[in-house]
Amino acid sequence: MIGLLRRFGRTGLTFFERLGRGSIFVLHVLAGVPALFLRPGLIVAQIWSVGVRSLIITVVSGVFVGMVLGLQGYNTLVDFGAEESLGVVVALSLVRELGPVVSALLFAGRAGSALTAEIGLMKATEQLDGMEMMAVDPLRRVVAPRFVAGVISMPLLAAMFSAVGVLGGYFVGVGLLGVDEGAFWSQMQSAVDVNDDILNGVIKSVAFGIVVTWIAVFEGYDSVPTSEGVSAATTRTVVHSSLAVLGLDFVLTALMFN
């Protein structure tokens, strides 16, 4: 009984301790960001590893999600005689929700776990300590470029996901199922608002980028420096950032679309 209480207490305290450490960590990283603009080569290299390498999975998933939306949307709308609104359904679902959220989940799984493993391994092989010995701040040299790269890549990936998703929905709806092409685009254009829908989607994806990248780099930096520790940290990154994205999505949606 007492043992159980003790475990609960320790879990709770550990949670707050990590949250605090993570917040102080991200403040240090943000403080190191302005200095990065003197060395953009670091950011470019990280955008390659974090953004460009996630391109294939994002685009392919986007195409398939768009195609499925087209199919399912058509099946439901045709019962109401409203299949001309297929463009509206596909575009609004993608731009408002699926684009930012699904691409953030894919990003967390692919790029987030890679970031955590990379930084965790640097910690385990004492490269971060070695840098500190040479008076090079590892937060500025290693972590900050990865953080900035993640925040930059995320909205771009989400936009690409939504765009190819709309094209996938167009291919299925107009190409395969016979929805009228003019109605598809014109209804979509009158229903999707630049400020309410697209801009909000971009804001969401920036927020998700910040959260996912923050969790990924922090878990790597804070990992236990053994192989098991790195593996546990990588798993935690994917799980925690996925949950954080979904929770944050609800909060942002409630704020934006109310």
| 203 near another protein, rule: CB under 8 A | no
* Vertex 209: Cα angle to 203 and 214 (nearest 5): 135
Q: How far is the CB of 45 from another protein (least distance, A)?
A: 6
For residues 172 and 184, what is the distance between their CA atoms, to the nearest angstrom?
A: 12
Burial class (CB in 10 A: 0-12, 13-18, 19+), 207: buried
The residue within the footprint of another protein, chosen from 163, 183, 203, 252 (CB under 8 A), is 163
| 119 near another protein, rule: CB under 8 A | no
Q: How far is the CB of 139 from another protein (least distance, A)?
A: 23
Piece of the chain touching another protein by CB under 8 A; list 23-31, 79-87, 135-143, 237-245: 79-87
Q: How far is the CB of 40 from another protein (least distance, A)?
A: 10
The residue within the footprint of another protein, chosen from 194, 228, 254, 258 (CB under 8 A), is 194
| 37 near another protein, rule: CB under 8 A | no
> Which CB, 11 or 258, lies closer to another protein?
258
| 164 near another protein, rule: CB under 8 A | yes
Nearest to 206, CA basis, from 245, 244, 154? 154
Q: Per-residue b/e over 56-74, b at no fewer than 16 CB within 10 Å?
A: ebbbebbbebbbebbbebb
Count of residues binding another protein (CB under 8 A)?
A: 36
| 223 near another protein, rule: CB under 8 A | no
Q: How far is the CB of 168 from another protein (least distance, A)?
A: 13
Cβ contacts of 243-250, under 8 Å, gap ≥ 24: 244/211, 244/212, 244/215, 245/101, 245/104, 245/105, 245/108, 245/208, 245/211, 245/212, 246/101, 248/207, 248/208, 248/211, 249/97, 249/100, 249/101, 249/204, 249/208
Residues engaged in binding another protein (CB under 8 A): 41, 44-45, 47-48, 51-52, 55, 80-82, 85, 91, 95, 152-153, 155-157, 159-160, 162-164, 166, 185, 188-194, 197-198, 202
